[in-house]
Amino acid sequence: MSYMALYRKFRPNGFDDVKGQEHIVTTLKNEIRTGRIGHAYLFCGTRGTGKTSVAKILAKAVNCEQPVNGSPCNECQMCQKISSQTSMNVVEIDAASNNGVANIRDIIDEVQYSPTEGKYRVYIIDEVHMLSSGAFNALLKTLEEPPSYVIFILATTEAHKIPITILSRCQRYDFKRISIDIIAERLRELVDKEQTEAEEKALRYIAKTADGSLRDALSLLDRCIAFYIDQKLTYDNVLDVLAAVDTEVYSRMFEYVAAANAIGCISLIDEMMAAGRDISRFISEFIWYLRNLLIIGASAEGSDMADISSEQFPVMQEQAKRVDADILIRYIHILSELLNRIRYSAQKRVLAEVDFIKLCRPQMDEVQDLSTIISRINMLEQKLEEGIAINSDANSKLEESETAQRNVFSKNDDTPKILPKAVPEDIKAVIGNWQKILNQCDRVEQTMLFNAKKVVSDDGDLILQFTDSVDEGYFRQDDNKQLEALKSVISNMIGKDVSIKTRTISYEENEKFVDLSQVIHFEDVEYK
Ligand SMILES: [Zn+2]
């Protein structure tokens, strides 16, 4: 019997098999149950989050002869034909390779004829952002007046590249990254079905590595199982197959850095390279380790958010106690920047070694700088407690926007906390959900956001304010790719699109602003 990849073998058949997208699944099931089916859907989200799977289930459900509670029955003739891909009613198009006007015209010609069987003809256009502008125009005409028996499902990883005219005609659904817990749970189900033994820790590691994509998790699991066929899947095996490194190594690396032991760092890098580990991966995971230390240091019960095993937690807790948050942020900063640089470099190892030496080298000017920062923060906090407005330079360019910020502090301590009028409701909702939003961002993005101050502009826009253009550049690179990703997480979370800008200003100027998180808390925000 030939081996079938897990993600093919265990494609979800019904809405209830779809993991981690309950908000979308519930809405779609309700639409089908009540017969209020749309004609154009837009499915957005990162890869491997279930967009095409849900599209196929939806295509089946609308054609199913006896849908069960909004899901396809998978037994009737239509369901079976669609499952075996022999029905003319479901057409899948990959816009990456069929992006021209002619491809869309073919569809439009076909659309004239009503289906000979079933109720709906469903066109699933994957990677729709790849269509040429001519193709989008051609598609637009059909989207404006679609025949009653036609449904378009457009899927994309890059919604911001889709013309607004198309967007406005679609029901938009944003697919979330899937949490480590949900992915690990799904992996457990599958290995049980496959009767493969696997350690919990091994599955969790795969889930974490997949970074929100269930499909990636399944193909990683495939690789591991194929490598150790008919054996129990252990944590060590998984590390080997994925060329990854055990947490204990990161713990050692942290100790070397903290002790300013450059030789230790270099020899550990040497050890990793000799074992065939990938240096970029090593650095990105070490950043994750530092980020976890930062979280543990910041809260008493950080282990949930930090996704750390119970045996590892006390070690990290002790490490977190020994190091200042500012210093951790400095490490994360240097390493994130390193990660960007080595991506395209042939000298990965040398660059890495240089930066680890940089981490170890105690710099007097930096130390002084740090203490200045800390004393400034202390001063600011004291003023906050006293409810005194913060002074600014008279000739400050940012004078006006500061007014909005300062309003926050002009309240007397005894009065009940009133949210400043200057902060629009949408932004309050964003700030109130900030931690949840962070949880859905990828690692590097989280790190970068640690360095951002959230403030409100004069026009009532949310601004991410940086003091280092490298941080801002991260969100601006590749046509604002990361900024758009963040916006999509936010609109998912609060159900609205929020305009976000970024800017880099001097450290001095930045000091005058107070991060909105300090004045708006979750309890203050009315939850929808
Ligand atoms: Zn059916």
pLDDT score at 308: 65
Amino acid at 105: R
How far apart are the CA of 418 and the centre of ligand 1, in A?
Answer: 55
Among 189, 220, 241, the domain-final residue is: 241
Q: Domain range holding 495?
A: 367-524
Provide the token pair at 44: 């957005």
pLDDT score at 497: 87
With residue 298 as reference, give the H or E element that holds it. helix 279-298
Cα gap 147→156, rounded to integer Å: 23
Among 241, 274, 290, the domain-final residue is: 241
How far apart are the CA of 16 and the centre of ligand 1, in A?
Answer: 15
83 in a structural domain? yes
Residue 398 and residue 493 in one domain:
yes
153 in a structural domain? yes
Residue 195 and residue 158 in one domain:
no
Residue 13 and residue 45 in one domain:
yes
Q: Provide the terminal-to-terminal Cα distance of the chain, rounded to the nearest Å.
A: 52
pLDDT score at 236: 85
How far apart are the CA of 483 and the centre of ligand 1, in A?
Answer: 41
371 in a structural domain? yes
How far apart are the CA of 449 and the centre of ligand 1, in A?
Answer: 46
Residue 311 and residue 459 in one domain:
no
Residue 136 and residue 60 in one domain:
yes
CATH of the domain at 27: 3.40.50.300
How far apart are the CA of 148 and the centre of ligand 1, in A?
Answer: 20
How far apart are the CA of 150 and the centre of ligand 1, in A?
Answer: 18
DSSP labels for 194-240? TT--B-HHHHHHHHHHTTT-HHHHHHHHHHHHHHTTTS-B-HHHHHH
With residue 152 as reference, give the H or E element that holds it. strand 150-156
Residue 394 and residue 410 in one domain:
yes
Burial of 312 (0-12, 13-18, 19+ CB in 10 A): middle
Contact (CB, 8 A) for 161 and 478: no
Residue 111 and residue 168 in one domain:
yes
230 in a structural domain? yes
pLDDT score at 481: 83
219 in a structural domain? yes
Residue 412 and residue 351 in one domain:
no
How far apart are the CA of 79 and the centre of ligand 1, in A?
Answer: 4
Contact (CB, 8 A) for 232 and 319: no
How far apart are the CA of 36 and the centre of ligand 1, in A?
Answer: 18
How far apart are the CA of 75 and the centre of ligand 1, in A?
Answer: 5
Contact (CB, 8 A) for 89 and 120: yes
Residue 444 and residue 496 in one domain:
yes
Residue 313 and residue 329 in one domain:
yes
How far apart are the CA of 503 and the centre of ligand 1, in A?
Answer: 53
CA dihedral 296, 297, 298, 304 (to 10 degrees): 10
pLDDT score at 186: 92
Cα gap 466→479, rounded to integer Å: 19
Pick the closest to residue 450 from 425, 430, 429, 467 (CA basis). 467
Domain total for the chain?
4
Cα gap 154→156, rounded to integer Å: 7
Among 123, 151, 174, the domain-final residue is: 174
Contact (CB, 8 A) for 69 and 29: yes
99 in a structural domain? yes
pLDDT score at 104: 92
CATH of the domain at 226: 1.10.8.60
1 in a structural domain? no
How far apart are the CA of 61 and the centre of ligand 1, in A?
Answer: 7
How far apart are the CA of 11 and the centre of ligand 1, in A?
Answer: 17
Low-confidence ranges of the chain (pLDDT < 50): 1, 364-368, 371-372, 389-421, 524, 526-528
Provide the token pair at 401: 């926007």
How far apart are the CA of 214 and the centre of ligand 1, in A?
Answer: 26
How far apart are the CA of 80 and the centre of ligand 1, in A?
Answer: 7
Cα–Cα distance list, 17 to 10, 21, 225 (Å): 9, 10, 23
How far apart are the CA of 57 and the centre of ligand 1, in A?
Answer: 11
DSSP labels for 163-202? -HHHHTTSEEEEPPPPPHHHHHHHHHHHHHHTT--B-HHH
350 in a structural domain? yes
CATH of the domain at 292: 1.20.272.10
How far apart are the CA of 195 and the centre of ligand 1, in A?
Answer: 30
pTM: 0.57
How far apart are the CA of 185 and the centre of ligand 1, in A?
Answer: 28
How far apart are the CA of 19 and the centre of ligand 1, in A?
Answer: 21
Torsion angles phi and psi, residue 478, rounded to 5:
45, 55
Cα–Cα distance list, 90 to 86, 142, 331, 368 (Å): 9, 17, 51, 66
Residue 147 and residue 268 in one domain:
no
Torsion angles phi and psi, residue 137, rounded to 5:
-60, -45
- Residue 97, SS3? coil
How far apart are the CA of 105 and the centre of ligand 1, in A?
Answer: 31
With residue 322 as reference, give the H or E element that holds it. helix 313-322
CATH of the domain at 518: 3.30.300
How far apart are the CA of 81 and the centre of ligand 1, in A?
Answer: 10
How far apart are the CA of 509 and the centre of ligand 1, in A?
Answer: 63
Residue 164 and residue 194 in one domain:
no
pLDDT score at 382: 61
How far apart are the CA of 68 and the centre of ligand 1, in A?
Answer: 8
